[in-house]
Chains A and B, each alone.
Chain A
Amino acid sequence: MRRSIFIVIAVFVFLIVSNVCNATGKNAMFYQAGDFYKQGKYKEAAETYESIVKDGFVSGPLYYNLANSYFKDGKVGIAILNYRRAERLMPRDSDLDSNCKYVNSFVKNNANVLPRNLFLKILDRYKDNLSLDEISKLLLFFYILSGLIVFLGMYLHLNKRKITTITLILAIIFVFNVAILISKSTSERNKAIVVSDLEAKFEPLDSATTHFSLSEGVEVFILKDEGFWFKIKRADGKMGWAAKNSIKKI
């Protein structure tokens, strides 16, 4: 018995220590990349940040700094891609918002978004201001809260009508957030950025007629994946086939 407890504790300590070492390594690389950036070595900075990503670790500031490095290195498309990735982890960061808008102003032929009604605009705003993780945590919170209220009402014999009303409201909020979570995760899964100028075709063939062109940094929605081609939809609703190597999923 004692032996097994010892083994469990040893594994636990090992995991903590390795995690701390790992974190220290990532942090060191992050600061090193920051030093490159300060020296104006944007390419090196971007490479160092990318190596952290390649190790399988990401964070909002990491993507933000990576995007800054790419932008300074003249790569608008990849910069926007990383800003968008950073947005998913820190959706309400004002620096990120400002940089994103600024860098977007360099995108050529950015198609106008189709007009949205007021309700959809409010919904978009809500969706954009919360990350998927935050919505998940909110859901969990509302789930626990509504359950607690129901059981407290049940065991403490509180006013049934009030409990029902509160639970109903919480249930509506819960369902609303579930819908938002599903919609957001579905749309985020298929969003992509054009990383180099390309021409969208009518068919997934090199010889096919060009339908419209897309500039580096334009955001598109992937509808279908076929061989070397993505069927994409532009913000103005136009659809076409684009070569995969010019498009990166967010």
Chain B
Amino acid sequence: MTKNVNKILIFLIVVFSAVVCLAQDISFEVTVDRNKTTLDSVVTLSLTLNGATSDALGLPEINGFQSRYLGPSTQVTVVNGNYSKITTHNYSLYPTEIGIFTIPSMSIKIEGEIYTSESIKIEVIDSSKAQVPKSSQSSGKTGLEDKILLTLDVPKRDIYLYEKVPVTVKLYIQGFTARDIEFPKFDSLGLTFEDYKQPNQYTQVIDGIRFDVIEFNTKMYSIREGRLEFGPARLGFNILYQGKRRSSSDSFFGSFFDRYEKRPVEVRSEGYVLNVLPLPGDEKPEDFSGGVGQFDFDVVASPGMVKVGDPITIIMKVSGQGDLSAINMPYFKDDDNFKTYDPQIRQERNVKILEQVLIPKSENATKIPIARFSYFDSNLKQYRSIVRGPFDLTILPSEEGDEFRIVGLPRLSGAIAVEDLGRDIIYIKGKPGKFLSVGYLFSESFSFKSILVLITIIFIALLLYRLRRNRFKTDIAFARRTQAPKKARELMKEAKKKMNDQKTLECYDCVFKTITEYFGDKFHISAAGMTFSDLKKILNDKGVDENVINRLEKLFKECDEVRFAAANQDLELVKGNLKACEEIIDYFERNFR
């Protein structure tokens, strides 16, 4: 099923394409790449068939030229579903003599229809007098005036003040690629231009040469009377041309990597003198709106049935050719029958709109008066007035309590008198407020500075404390070293206690533990199994005083004797050893922090 649907779809597309192809308009054109050349140059002649195909055509005899067929080229494009096929047969024309020669018009018969081209004139000049480029590739630097042209066009030279006139600027380019094209500019005083519309792009054959055309359209009007210079138009853009090849030996890669360079170009059109005529003053209507051109005027009033006091919306629209911004829209004013509100005016693309609210004051308001729009018709060269209305109005009877009232702020009884307010200074203060010393500034006061210093000290202390705590957590050696004296003090206290209890052995155990743990923590080594010889080596490395080492050795020895040989010691000796232990620790705390 799906396959069948697909087949049908493909068939329909093919048929549709064929129909489109068949329906395409056929045209036949003969063009040359230049219409002025030298004896030693070659002119390319192209026979272009648009919407049809054909074999190579035999060229007729062309005076002053010998021809050679180069071959066909075909171009197929599908843009927005529009199919087009262009077949071009190219020929080289070699000039044989100097003079002006004519390529005669040619005809081709396709599907029974005969299509005829226009004849083309080509001037052949002597090479020595030539100013035209020898080939299109070198024309990037010379002969641009033949390849690029800017034209400025207005439909008439005599215009009225504020009359909108279309302006067309066309850029013709042949054989170049243009990039970064700017909008045209004008050297004109007293003329006001609208914004440009989207430029049109197309090709156009002039004297047998095909040009790419970019057309800019805008409108302008004059705000000054008299003779005004209009133009020239100036237009800037970049042309792309081939830079020098990097390597002439490798033609493929040479051309592949050819650099295209940009060259800025500014072209100028011819200028005109415009004759700006004043608007005729004699017949000018009193309600002339200021509009110049051709306009239409339309008025709508709704609703058509209202009660007294109900709003009616009037919508007036002015549209047409001319400067809408210069138009003063007509509007209604208060009268016996209607109260009017200020109109709201806005301008859309090609139309100016006025909205106004009218309120019937009484049941006599059965007709909305006429609205008149007067303008100057620049084609007819006279003033015109368009009148709309009067508009019938049905006033419905008011119900009780529904009397006419103006919508807005509630009105006070009687007119509001303009109050004449006096001015003076405000009375003195009753309380003195907080007294300060003259020149006192909190920021310069002792309290401000002391608070600032105190807080800073607290912050620094907190920070240091935090850093120290962090170090205790991460740096074990530091933690042991820092806590060593504290631990030693506690152990020494215990040792003293044991000594007082006459427990000599336990006292010496404590002393030994104090020494080994203190030095273990101090130098971040293991306290378990520590011998004096191990410790001595470390102490020597640290440069400890020899006397201290000797005292320590003695202490170690006496500890060992009491602990392992159960040697008796009197109290004085124990006291002396305890003191020695304290002094050794003090020494290390003072000298090896």
What is the minimal beta-carbon distance from B474 to any residue of chain A, in angstroms? 15
List, in ascending order, chain A residues with CB within 8 A of B455's CB: 140, 143-144, 147
Chain B minimum-CB-distance residue to A22: B435
- State whether the Cβ of B423 lies closer than 8 Å to any Cβ in chain A: yes
Partner of B425 from A60, A102, A139 at Cβ < 8 Å: A102
Question: Closest Cβ of chain B: how far from A148's Cβ, in Å?
Answer: 9
Cβ-defined contact, B433 with A154, below 8 A: no
Interface size on A, residues (CB 8 A): 42
B462-A140 in contact (CB<8A): no
B438:A133 contact, CB within 8 angstroms: no
Q: Which residues of A contact B436 (CB under 8 A)?
A: 57-59, 89
Interface positions of A from 87 to 110, Cβ below 8 Å from B? 89-90, 95, 98-99, 102-103
Among B428, B430, B435, B443, which residue has its beta carbon within 8 angstroms of that of A181? Answer: B443
**A140-B423 contact in complex given A30-B432, A58-B435, C-beta closer than 8 Å:** no
Specify which chain B residues have a CB less than 8 angstroms from the CB of A89 in the assembled complex: 433, 436
CA distance A132 to B443 in the complex (A): 7
B435 and A68 contacting across the interface, CB-CB below 8 Å: no
Taking the closest CB of chain A, its distance from the CB of B449, in whole angstroms, is: 10
Question: Is A57's CB under 8 angstroms from B438's CB?
Answer: yes
- Quick one: which of A166-219 are within 8 Å of B by CB? 181, 185
Residues of A within 8 A of B114 (CB): none
In the assembled complex, the CB of B446 is this many whole angstroms from the nearest CB of chain A, namely 13
B432 and A26 form a contact (CB under 8 A)? yes
A residues less than 8 Å from B431 (CB atoms): 61
* Complex Cα spacing A101 to B426, Å: 11
A59 touches B452 (CB 8 A): no
Least CB separation from A64: chain B residue: B429
Give the distance to chain B from A134, nearest Cβ to Cβ, in Å. 9
User: Is residue B396 contacting chain A, with contact meaning CB distance below 8 A?
Assistant: no
Q: Min CB distance, B426 to chain A, in Å?
A: 4
B437 close to chain A: CB less than 8 A:
yes
Interface range for B: 20 to 34
Closest residue of chain B to A28 (Cβ to Cβ) is B432
Closest Cβ–Cβ distance, residue B366 to chain A (whole Å): 57
Residue numbers in B under 8 Å from A30 (CB-CB): 432
* A160 part of interface (Cβ distance < 8 Å): no
Q: Report yes or no: A132 in contact with B432, Cβ–Cβ below 8 A.
A: no
CB of A136 within 8 Å of the partner chain: yes
B197 close to chain A: CB less than 8 A:
no
Complex CA–CA separation, A199 to B427 (angstroms):
34
B156 at the A interface (CB under 8 A) = no
Q: Let me know if B435 and A133 touch, CB within 8 A.
A: no
B115 interface contact, C-beta 8 A:
no
Task: Tell me the complex Cα distance, A37–B424, Å.
Answer: 15
B399-452 at interface with A (beta carbon < 8 Å): 423-438, 440-443, 448, 451-452
In the complex, A30→B463 CA distance in Å? 50
Q: Is A240 an interface residue (CB 8 A)?
A: no
Q: Determine if B579 is an interface residue (Cβ-Cβ < 8 Å).
A: no
Residues in chain A near residue B433, CB distance under 8 A: 59-62, 89-90
A102 contacts B452, C-beta separation under 8 Å: no
In the docked arrangement, what's the CA distance between A30 and B441, Å?
22
| Residues from chain B with Cβ under 8 Å of A139 in the complex | 443
CB pair B435 A57 closer than 8 Å: yes
Interface presence of B592 (CB below 8 A): no
Q: How far is the CB of A91 from chain B (nearest CB, A)?
A: 13
How far is it, in angstroms, between the C-alpha of A151 and the C-alpha of B466 when the chains are bound?
9
Q: How far is the CA of A220 from the CA of B115 in the complex (A)?
A: 91
A102 and B441 contact, CB distance less than 8 A: no
Judged by a CB distance under 8 angstroms, whether B459 is at the interface is yes
Give a binary string over B484-499; 1 marks a CB under 8 Å from any A CB, 0 the rest. Answer: 0000000000000000
Q: Which residues of B contact A26 (CB under 8 A)?
A: 432, 435
B438, A99: Cβ atoms closer than 8 Å: no
User: Complex Cα distance A64/B433, Å?
Assistant: 11
Residues on B with beta carbons closer than 8 Å to the beta carbon of A68: 425, 427-428
Do the beta carbons of A151 and B442 come within 8 Å of each other?
Answer: no
Find chain A residues with CB under 8 A from B423 CB.
Answer: 102
Partner of B442, one of A59, A103, A137: A137
Residues of A within 8 A of B443 (CB): 132-133, 135-136, 139, 181, 185
**Contacting residues, chain B, for A102 (C-beta < 8 A):** 423-425
| Residues in B whose Cβ lies below 8 Å from that of A61 | 428-429, 431-433
Question: What's the nearest-Cβ distance from chain B to residue A195, in Å?
Answer: 18
Q: Across the two chains, which residue of chain B brings its CB closest to A140? A: B451
Given A26-B435, A132-B443, A147-B459, verify A65-B451 contact (CB < 8 Å).
Answer: no
A90 to B432, CA, bound (A): 12
Residues of B within 8 A of A119 (CB): none
Q: Which of B435, B440, B448 contacts A140 (CB 8 A)?
A: B448
Is A227 interfacial (CB-CB < 8 Å)? no
B430: which of A34, A103, A154, A155 is its contact (CB, 8 Å)? A34
Cα distance A154–B466 in the bound complex, in angstroms: 8
Q: Which residues of A contact B442 (CB under 8 A)?
A: 132-133, 136-137
Q: Closest Cβ of chain B: how far from A210's Cβ, in Å?
A: 33
- Answer whether residue A71 sits at the interface, using C-beta atoms and an 8 A cutoff: yes
Answer yes or no: A56 CB below 8 A from chain B CBs: yes
Q: Which residues of A contact B459 (CB under 8 A)?
A: 147, 151
**Does A122 count as interface, using CB distance less than 8 angstroms?**
no
User: Beta-carbon contacts of A30-50 to B below 8 Å, as 1s and 0s?
Assistant: 100010010000000000000
| B425 x A27 contact (CB < 8 A) | no
A108-129 Cβ-contact flags toward B at 8 Å (1 or 0): 0000000000000000000000
A235 located at the interface, meaning its Cβ lies under 8 Å from any Cβ of chain B in the complex: no
In the bound assembly, the distance between CA atoms of A26 and B435 in angstroms comes to 9
Q: Which of A34, A132, A144, A154 contacts B441 (CB 8 A)?
A: A132
**B434-A59 in contact (CB<8A):** yes
What is the distance, in angstroms, from B337's C-beta to the closest C-beta of chain A? 49
Q: Is A23 an interface residue (CB 8 A)?
A: yes
Q: Which of B425, B430, B448 has the most CB of A within 10 A?
A: B425
Chain B residue numbers with a CB within 8 Å of A154 are 466
Residues of chain A contacted by B427 (CB below 8 angstroms)? 68
* A163 in contact (CB, < 8 A): no
Residues of B close to A23: CB separation below 8 A:
435
A226 to B436, CA, bound (A): 31
Across the two chains, which residue of chain B brings its CB closest to A67?
A: B425
Establish whether residues B466 and A155, one from each chain, have CB atoms under 8 Å apart when the complex forms.
Answer: yes
Task: State A102–B427 Cα separation when bound (angstroms).
Answer: 13
Distance in Å from the Cβ of A205 to the closest Cβ of chain B?
A: 32
Which of A72, A136, A139 is packed against the most chain B CB atoms within 10 Å?
A136
For A57, give the chain B residue with the smallest CB separation.
B435
In the complex, which residue of chain A has the Cβ closest to the Cβ of B436?
A: A58
Residues of B near A34 (CB, < 8 A) are 428, 430
Give chain A residues whose Cβ lies under 8 Å from the Cβ of B437: 56-58
Q: Given contacts A99-B425, A133-B442, A136-B442, are A59 and B435 in contact (CB under 8 A)?
A: yes
How far apart sit A229 and B459, CA to CA, in the bound complex (Å)?
48
Smallest CB–CB gap between B456 and chain A, Å?
Answer: 9
Q: Is A143 a contact partner of B466 (Cβ separation < 8 A)? A: no
Residue of chain A at shortest CB distance from B441: A132
Give 10 A-B pairs besides A23-B435, A59-B434, A143-B452 with Cβ atoms closer than 8 angstroms.
Answer: A34-B430, A57-B437, A58-B435, A62-B432, A64-B428, A65-B428, A95-B429, A102-B424, A132-B442, A151-B459
A-B contact pairs, 20 of them (CB 8 A): A23-B435, A30-B432, A34-B430, A56-B437, A56-B438, A58-B440, A59-B435, A59-B436, A61-B431, A65-B428, A65-B429, A68-B425, A69-B428, A98-B426, A102-B425, A133-B442, A137-B442, A140-B451, A151-B462, A185-B441
